[in-house]
Amino acid sequence: MSLIRKNNNVIFPALMNELLKPDWFGGVANLNAATPSVNIKENEKNYELALIAPGRKKEDFKIEIDDELLTVSSAIVVNKEEVKDNYTRKEFEVGSFKRVFNLPETVNQEKINAAYDQGILKLTLPKRAEALPKPKRLIELK
């Protein structure tokens, strides 16, 4: 950020950097901002991934498994057109991301499922039967 100085006192920070951010002008959820955050939780039966990706539809996601890699990606193009009085403004916004996760050997890849609701993509990665905790068993003395 550049500053304008007078007598070694900061008078006017270059506010344009802040004002020219896409959000200030009604941009679409800052599509190119960064790779979406993800929460990963493990419980007894599965792993759960929750990836925040607002402003998308379930059709915008591509989820693939290749060997031990789970890839979640999305690419969307938003075409906005505003017509007022005697001018027309057209804008295109492109937003994409790609996240790759190493799957543990304990995941049953055939039973992975995903759902998208209210801006959050949720993936459930069930564990293989042999990775599930074994129930207690009582061994009788003879």
pLDDT digits 0-9 by tens, 67-107: 889 999 998 877 777 788 777 777 777 788 999 999 988 99
pTM over 0.85, yes/no: no
- Indicate the CATH number of 30-129 among 2.60.40.790, 1.20.1560.10, 1.10.3720.10, 3.40.50.450: 2.60.40.790
Contacts of 81 (CB under 8 A, 6+ apart): 88, 89, 90, 91
pLDDT band at 20 (very low <50, low <70, confident <90, very high): very low
- Residue 108's φ and ψ, nearest 5 degrees, are -85, 95
